[in-house]
């Protein structure tokens, strides 16, 4: 069947594709247990001769309640990139910008030289990994309300960077697994930074590849828990995504400053699953699943800020395009002479986004004002084919019903913001505006709709004393939707289909959050964030038609949670060079089930999450040892015909040893998944919908096994 599949791909390679701008796979079984430091980057700051002897980072005093860290504060860690340094700031957790509608107001919690980064395809973690530690002048931690950048909340890191000559850095991150997986040799990154006249630049080449695998039994039980079918499956998942990037910062003329970002990425993903299935009293039969995705995407974005009148005007533009070709097949081969059965699904799509944005800032009436306007255009072209294997070995491909469409959205947004100090240590920031959008679909029952939605926020920051900060945020937010949910689709592996929903709208929410930060000098820091979100048009699976189901909106839902982050430095206790960071997230949600009317959790929402990291930079040596662990539990996934939960865990644990100077290189060896986390799936499938009798139960338990990873980083 492989040759048949290959020819099928050749016959369907039209010129299109979707923006799988980022592919998320089901955790460490399909990816690496510990995500590699994205694009480990260049020039390290000079390591202290006895790296464990230096005291842990403790911020110096700064105006407006800001805390400032200099490169000397991180010398004990021998950092090579800005990412290495920021990850060592006590109690601070990097939050990437939210995937939102257009660029919108700033999000995330990291700035570069006081500015947000105007792109979508390159997350801040990857960008920090390209900045040499030697180029970092300082890191400032400030309250969002004290900054003149609307949209930010909580604690914000502003990294001040200055290029210092031409520097290069590289990283190679091979990975090996003894169970099922192919070895990974192709994960690497290399970048060069420098300055030529008024232009600072960073050029990068990387491949954040992954190799995943798992294997083990699955039991299918009848409603009375008797055995219907036993399965044994082994899967591999290989993903490569070579990417080139360039970032230019132009200083001048005069007080103007500009940024230009360019990214191009190719990717290919191969999923292979081989299984043997046995039913009582019958001969075993074999089932194979193959999935291949190929595509590319690019993004060009930039901004230019200059003085205009009594204020400053920033103009921002961005274009992003992505293409994708997906080929799926599921083939069953019987050992009793029955004809082979096969299903095939082919989808190709192309996604385009264009954004133009302007921001004008001026100081007046005792505060900072910003008026922003944005126009954005998004489109998706998608079509799909479906076919089955015929007796002569051919495949009768035909258009998949409800899968071909063009979806477009034009959006226009205007927001006015104002921020000022109210008293010593007390600052407020207010923003209000609205969004107008026109959402259209051609094909598959398409229609055109128009919406006007209010947007805005209020941020208050109070520095109660030099070691205590409180942040309050009230926010009205409009969420994002996937255009792919407007058309019909099918998952051949799990036998699950979604009907398209042309009436889908973005979720909206009223959000209240309060965050408290308490610093304990050299002992560390703790941060607690409490939040309550009232959501309208929450995204979940809903009934479509008499028997169908798909992604849609439920009128309302609530989400409440607590997020606690703490850093403990052990130097004051006599254990020099040791540090512990941990985070605990607890979350509860409620939504009325669209089928039964009962209150339940939002599908797949995280209910609790825990992660911790311990590191000991051994005094008087270049060695460091450490460990990281995490555990997550999500709510059940509710569909109209089933309910279940997939999980990998219960605990992922790894340990590493690092040497900071092996012929000028930083070398780390890691043993991952030492607690034997496994891939599980428990689901209940019903004869009809979930309010009817049970058809069967599925219980999956797959081995992931240990993961051996290495990292070599250096500069040139």
pLDDT score of 36: 31
Task: Decide if pLDDT at 24 tops 50.
Answer: no
What is the rounded distance in angstroms from the CA atom of residue 685 to the CA atom of residue 698?
8
Q: Considering only 91-105, 143-157, 393-407, 417-431, which range has the smallest mean pLDDT?
A: 91-105
In the structure encoding, which two tokens stand for residue 357, read together?
């944005």
Q: Considering only 206-220, 435-449, 595-609, which range has the smallest mean pLDDT?
A: 435-449
pLDDT score of 10: 39
Q: What band does 373 get if pLDDT is binned at 50, 70 and 90?
A: very high
Render pLDDT for 309-337 as a digit per residue (tens, 0 to 9).
999 999 999 999 999 999 999 999 999 88
pLDDT score of 120: 66
Q: What band does 65 get if pLDDT is binned at 50, 70 and 90?
A: low
Render pLDDT for 567-577 as a digit per residue (tens, 0 to 9).
999 999 999 99
Q: How many CB atoms lie within 10 A of CB 116?
A: 23
H-run or E-run covering 176: strand 175-176
pLDDT (mean) for 475-485: 91
H-run or E-run covering 449: strand 448-465
Return the percentage of the chain with pLDDT > 90, whole number.
64
pTM exceeding 0.75: yes
What is the rounded distance in angstroms from the CA atom of residue 94 to the CA atom of residue 86?
8
For the ranges 164-168, 465-469, 587-591, the one whose mean pLDDT is highest? 587-591
Contacts of 341 (CB under 8 A, 6+ apart): 331, 332, 388, 389
Q: What band does 118 get if pLDDT is binned at 50, 70 and 90?
A: low
Task: Decide if pLDDT at 132 tops 80.
Answer: yes
Question: How many domains is the chain built from?
Answer: 1
pLDDT score of 13: 36
Q: Considering only 146-150, 442-446, 560-564, 576-580, which range has the smallest mean pLDDT?
A: 442-446
Task: Decide if pLDDT at 4 tops 90.
Answer: no
Task: Decide if pLDDT at 239 tops 70.
Answer: yes
Q: 393 in helix, strand or coil?
A: coil
pLDDT score of 366: 86
pLDDT score of 44: 30
The Cα-based distances of 17 to 119, 175, 272, 673 in angstroms read 21, 30, 22, 35
What is the rounded distance in angstroms from the CA atom of residue 431 to the CA atom of residue 472?
14
DSSP designation for 601: P
In the structure encoding, which two tokens stand for residue 520, read together?
């304990």
Render pLDDT for 532-553 as a digit per residue (tens, 0 to 9).
999 999 999 999 887 889 999 9
Pairing relation of β-strands 155-161 and 110-112?
A: parallel
pLDDT (mean) for 417-439: 92
Given a contact cutoff of 8 angstroms between Cβ atoms, the answer to whether 219 and 227 are in contact is: yes
Q: How many CB atoms lie within 10 A of CB 671?
A: 16
Bond before 253 cis per omega within 30 degrees: yes
Of the candidates 303, 321, 301, 328, the residue with the CA atom closest to the CA atom of residue 313: 303
Q: What band does 108 get if pLDDT is binned at 50, 70 and 90?
A: confident
Domain of residue 210, residue span: 2-715
Contacts of 404 (CB under 8 A, 6+ apart): 382, 383, 384, 443, 444, 487
Residue 11 phi/psi, 5° resolution?
-75, -20
Render pLDDT for 246-305 as a digit per residue (tens, 0 to 9).
999 999 898 999 999 999 999 999 999 999 999 999 999 999 999 999 999 999 999 999
Given a contact cutoff of 8 angstroms between Cβ atoms, the answer to whether 333 and 299 are in contact is: no
Q: Considering only 42-51, 367-376, 616-625, which range has the smallest mean pLDDT?
A: 42-51
CA angle 461-467-471, nearest 5°? Answer: 20
Which one is predicted more confidently, 49 or 447?
447
Q: How many CB atoms lie within 10 A of CB 669?
A: 13
Sequential DSSP letters for 571-585: GGGT-TTEEEEEEEE
Distance of CA 364 to the CA centre of its chain: 38
In the structure encoding, which two tokens stand for residue 649, read together?
């865990």
CA angle 190-193-199, nearest 5°? Answer: 145
Task: Decide if pLDDT at 483 tops 50.
Answer: yes
The Cα-based distances of 559 to 153, 299, 354, 382, 606 in angstroms read 18, 34, 32, 33, 11
Task: Decide if pLDDT at 82 tops 90.
Answer: no
Task: Decide if pLDDT at 46 tops 50.
Answer: no
Q: How many residues does the chain have?
A: 716
pLDDT score of 230: 97
Task: Decide if pLDDT at 42 tops 50.
Answer: no
In the structure encoding, which two tokens stand for residue 662, read together?
């092996």
Which one is predicted more confidently, 494 or 384?
384
pLDDT score of 351: 96
Given a contact cutoff of 8 angstroms between Cβ atoms, the answer to whether 439 and 122 are in contact is: no
pLDDT score of 116: 75
Which one is predicted more confidently, 173 or 157?
173
Distance of CA 25 to the CA centre of its chain: 11
Can you give the three-state secondary structure of 12-28, one letter per residue?
HCCCCCCCCCCCCCCHH
pLDDT score of 545: 81
pLDDT score of 30: 33
Q: What share of the chain is helix, strand, coil (3-state, %, to 5)?
A: 5, 60, 30
Contacts of 321 (CB under 8 A, 6+ apart): 19, 297, 298, 299, 350, 351, 352, 353
**CATH code of the domain covering residue 576:** 2.40.170.20
Q: Considering only 25-34, 137-146, 454-463, 654-663, which range has the smallest mean pLDDT?
A: 25-34
Q: 86 in helix, strand or coil?
A: helix
Which one is predicted more confidently, 56 or 684?
684
Given a contact cutoff of 8 angstroms between Cβ atoms, the answer to whether 453 and 435 are in contact is: yes
Which one is predicted more confidently, 701 or 158?
701
Q: Tell me which long-range contacts 249-257 makes (C-beta under 8 A, separation of at least 24).
A: 249/113, 249/199, 249/200, 249/201, 250/198, 250/199, 251/198, 251/199, 251/200, 252/198, 254/306, 254/307, 255/306, 255/307, 256/304, 256/305, 256/306, 256/307, 257/115, 257/304, 257/305
Q: How many CB atoms lie within 10 A of CB 660?
A: 24
Given a contact cutoff of 8 angstroms between Cβ atoms, the answer to whether 457 and 474 are in contact is: yes
Task: Decide if pLDDT at 414 tops 80.
Answer: yes
H-run or E-run covering 171: strand 167-172
Of the candidates 209, 139, 147, 85, the residue with the CA atom closest to the CA atom of residue 419: 147
CA angle 605-589-154, nearest 5°? Answer: 80
pLDDT score of 119: 66
Task: Decide if pLDDT at 138 tops 70.
Answer: yes
The torsion angle over the Cα atoms of residues 595, 599, 600 and 601, rounded to 10 degrees, is 120
pLDDT score of 98: 61
Q: What is the mean pLDDT of the chain?
A: 86
Residue whose structure tokens are 């998608």: 382
């Amino acid at each position: 069947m492989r040759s048949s599949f290959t020819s099928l791909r050749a016959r369907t390679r039209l010129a299109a594709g979707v923006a799988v701008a980022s592919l998320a796979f089901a955790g460490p079984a399909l990816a690496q247990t510990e995500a590699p430091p994205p694009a480990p980057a260049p020039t390290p700051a000079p390591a202290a001769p006895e790296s464990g002897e230096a005291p842990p980072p403790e911020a110096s005093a700064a105006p407006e309640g800001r805390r400032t860290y200099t490169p000397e504060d991180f010398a004990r860690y021998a950092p090579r990139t800005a990412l290495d340094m920021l990850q060592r700031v006590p109690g601070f957790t990097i939050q990437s910008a939210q995937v939102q509608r257009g660029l919108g107001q700033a999000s995330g919690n990291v700035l570069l030289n006081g500015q947000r980064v105007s792109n979508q395809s390159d997350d801040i973690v990857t960008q920090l990994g390209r900045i040499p530690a030697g180029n970092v002048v300082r890191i400032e931690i400030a309250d969002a309300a004290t900054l003149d950048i609307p949209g930010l909340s909580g604690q914000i890191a502003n990294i001040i960077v200055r290029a210092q000559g031409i520097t290069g850095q590289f990283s190679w991150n091979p990975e090996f697994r003894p169970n099922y997986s192919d070895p990974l040799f192709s994960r690497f990154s290399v970048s060069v930074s420098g300055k030529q006249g008024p232009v600072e630049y960073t050029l990068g080449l990387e491949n954040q590849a992954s190799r995943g695998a798992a294997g083990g039994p699955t039991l299918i039980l009848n409603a009375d828990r008797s055995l219907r079918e036993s399965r044994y499956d082994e899967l591999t998942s290989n993903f490569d995504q070579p990417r080139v990037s360039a970032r230019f910062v132009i200083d001048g003329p005069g007080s103007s400053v500009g940024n230009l970002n360019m990214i191009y990425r190719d990717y290919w993903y191969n999923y292979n699953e081989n299984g043997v299935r046995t039913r009582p009293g019958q001969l075993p039969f074999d089932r194979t699943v193959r999935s291949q995705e190929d595509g590319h995407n690019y993004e060009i974005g930039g901004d230019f800020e200059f003085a205009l009148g009594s204020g400053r005007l920033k103009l921002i533009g961005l274009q992003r395009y992505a293409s994708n070709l997906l080929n799926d097949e599921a083939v069953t081969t019987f050992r009793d002479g029955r004809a082979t059965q096969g299903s095939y699904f082919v989808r190709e799509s192309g996604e385009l986004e264009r954004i133009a944005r302007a921001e004008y800032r001026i100081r007046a009436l005792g505060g900072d004002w910003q008026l922003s306007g944005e126009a954005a255009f998004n489109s998706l072209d998608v079509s799909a084919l479906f076919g089955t294997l015929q007796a002569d070995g051919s495949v009768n491909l035909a258009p998949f019903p409800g899968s071909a469409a063009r979806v477009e959205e034009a959006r226009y947004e205007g927001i006015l913001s104002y921020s000022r100090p109210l008293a010593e240590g007390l600052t407020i920031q207010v923003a209000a505006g609205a969004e107008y959008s026109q959402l259209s679909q051609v094909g598959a029952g398409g229609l055109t709709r128009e919406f006007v939605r209010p947007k805005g926020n209020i941020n208050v920051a109070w520095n109660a004393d030099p070691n205590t900060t409180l942040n309050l945020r009230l926010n009205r937010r409009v969420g994002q939707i996937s255009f792919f949910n407007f058309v019909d689709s099918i998952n051949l592996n799990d036998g699950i289909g979604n009907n398209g929903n042309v009436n889908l709208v973005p979720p909206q929410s009223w959000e209240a959050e309060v965050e408290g930060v308490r610093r304990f000098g050299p002992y560390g820091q703790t941060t607690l964030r409490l939040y309550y979100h009232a959501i309208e048009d929450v995204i979940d699976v809903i009934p479509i038609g008499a028997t169908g189901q798909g992604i849609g909106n439920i009128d309302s839902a609530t989400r409440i949670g607590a997020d606690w982050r703490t850093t403990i430095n052990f130097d004051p206790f006599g254990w020099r060079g040791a540090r512990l960071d941990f985070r605990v997230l607890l979350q509860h949600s409620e939504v009325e089930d669209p089928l039964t009317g009962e209150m339940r959790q939002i599908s797949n929402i995280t209910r609790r999450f825990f992660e911790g990291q311990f590191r000991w930079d051994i005094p008087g040596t270049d060695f460091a040892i450490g460990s990281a662990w995490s555990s997550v539990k999500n709510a059940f996934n509710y569909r109209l015909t089933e309910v279940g939960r997939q999980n990998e865990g219960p605990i992922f644990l790894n340990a590493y040893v690092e040497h900071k100077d092996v012929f000028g290189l930083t070398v780390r060896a890691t043993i991952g998944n030492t607690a034997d986390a496994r891939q599980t799936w428990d689901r209940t499938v019903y004869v009809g919908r979930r309010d009817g009798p049970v058809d069967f139960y599925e219980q999956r338990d797959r081995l992931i096994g240990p993961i051996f990873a290495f990292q070599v980083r250096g500069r040139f």
